[in-house]
Structure 1
């Protein structure tokens, strides 16, 4: 199994050209399934971790997030990047500490959001947001190996559909040294293209696709997107299917239980066969 430096170098290289998928796992089994599916790297999902613990989104600690990351790192030979929410604290020092802890856990990178977790004022002020990312970048550069620091602008997930402010923030994050830029749920392909152009040549991550309706990855690649992640979308689909089958069973419709893959196929994925 590759060490942290080798995985980190491979992850950084994936951002240099083309467009790659970064599916999000939430436990060892999902990590192995995604590796079996052909993923070249995986990310954690804070929502998925919380749901797997029977909690709402944003109800995990930094320690729990990093414990989960270590599980994913041990489960496969893939580079792993972590969704580290708002850096688990409001200050630049909190963000720097979180990045240092992420690197010590063996992660190849992480994301830091500009959210506050305060519903009344959900986004950090511009200058403070930039200071937080600058501190995170400085911590990443001190790691001594590649570490992809992704800076996220969360306007569109927090009732602030302001593309100009989102681009202003992403440009400032890029100038502060962020390696990859990310604004979840941009409204359409035109907005995605504007973000890509604004921060070029820095790579841009897109969550699934535009909110107006997901498109083929080839369309995102043609627009200059370098990375496409799933956030909690795969976890949501897995739990939705569990809910569907549970309701069917409770209602007596046992035939629906017969539609899944053979246990031997799942076991093969868990053993790494066919990867």
Structure 2
């Protein structure tokens, strides 16, 4: 892990403190600087989630990635800083009808902070999920005005998950799948089962190749802003800042690539943007 280059990528001049405040600072800087995106899928690049490939793409090349890439990188960084962590797998409930049980297509991290268990997630594209202590009822507010909480949701091994992450806040500070009101809404459920490397490879393969899913039918991107959130879904761009949301249509591939570079911090050329389904 080349921490110097990573810190330069996310705009930190030094390593944060190894405590809850430092973890929150590090994750927020990561999400503000490294955009969430699935563009490797429609571009036919494939999604590799080994440490070397992820570092090359997200740090060296200045691209973004989705959860299996983002949290691979974040896990490596935490390990290099001396924070023990391991991956967990989750079922994303955002935007789904009640009672639907989706597959485990999201990964997050379980982090040991001074003997206490915390969850950290640098790779959820639907909204900004801050670090939270693994405690029933734990709550925290994010700069976009949303509240987040963890609840014990079921028994170990249950389909409904052992833990449930919920959010209450402005729908504009999400990728558009949130209902337009501020009551508590589920984001995802997870349990604490051990996750092997091949479990992640299988989930990543399904997520990046399964026909008819969000990641194989749409071009999506998101990034955390100072007090807000920005999201792209094909040609629709939504920017939520200081409580106000604005949506507009992307004009062409050049406009798309320019927004990726300037707003989402994703280095994609005009030529590659022209190859994406909304423009090709």
More strand by share: 2
For the criterion TM > 0.5, the same-fold answer is: no
More helix by share: 1
Between Structure 1 and Structure 2, whose CA radius of gyration is higher? 1
Give the TM-score taking structure 2 as reference length: 0.33
